[in-house]
Amino acid sequence: MPVDVQTLGADWLVASSHKMCGPTGIGFLWGRAELLRASPPFLGGGEMIDQVKLEGSTFSDIPHRFEAGTPAFAEAVALGRACEYLEKLTMTAITEREHRLSKKLWDRVAALPGVTIYGPSPEEDPERASLVCFNVEGCHANDLATIVDQDRGIAMRSGHHCTQPLHTELGIVASARLSAYFYNTKEEIDLAVDAVEAAIELIRSGEGEGEVLDPAMAALLDV
């Protein structure tokens, strides 16, 4: 979505490269200059030093004081190209497309038998992300994700999604999550939810008993 740090009056803005079509292992931190200058460096190395004496050291100005040693310059170049690509598409166009995909995804998942969806609907929160977290009565989320992957080649997450306290508050051990990005299509959403529906039928029929997940794999996916 479009973000204007000046309008927001933000102190900090953090983003991960792999969430915006860039490579893994890199991201960026934007901060107000006065806050960055008031923050001590957290890594030592080349480029971040101004003066070094036996009695002490002084550090370079921003941003160099936070970029010690040899940076991940290959990843940085790739992230820059990803930013250029997104800017060419425009954040507004991406947001509008994701909102359409979000409604499609929500409507399809909501029609699954015995489903419980977590979070507000697109009607309740039009700005919600294009993902749906859910559980299906009688089906463990890890079982659903494994069958959908193995039978249809659909990537669906299951587990805590880095929100274990939230799952504890909701009284659930795990949830399944389908998400769409701007490059996905409505047809792909249909394929994904059709795969989930087939997995539900398989689990409830008992045909997959003993072939879904052993306890060790279930524990691994719950992390």
Active-site residue list = 162
Q: Do residues 79 and 103 lie in contact, with contact meaning Cβ atoms separated by under 8 Å?
A: no
Retrieve residue 35's tokens: 């806050």
Q: Choose among 217, 210, 204, 198: nearest CA to 139.
A: 204
Q: Is the dihedral of CA 121, 124, 127, 128 positive or negative?
A: negative
Radius of gyration of the chain (CA): 22
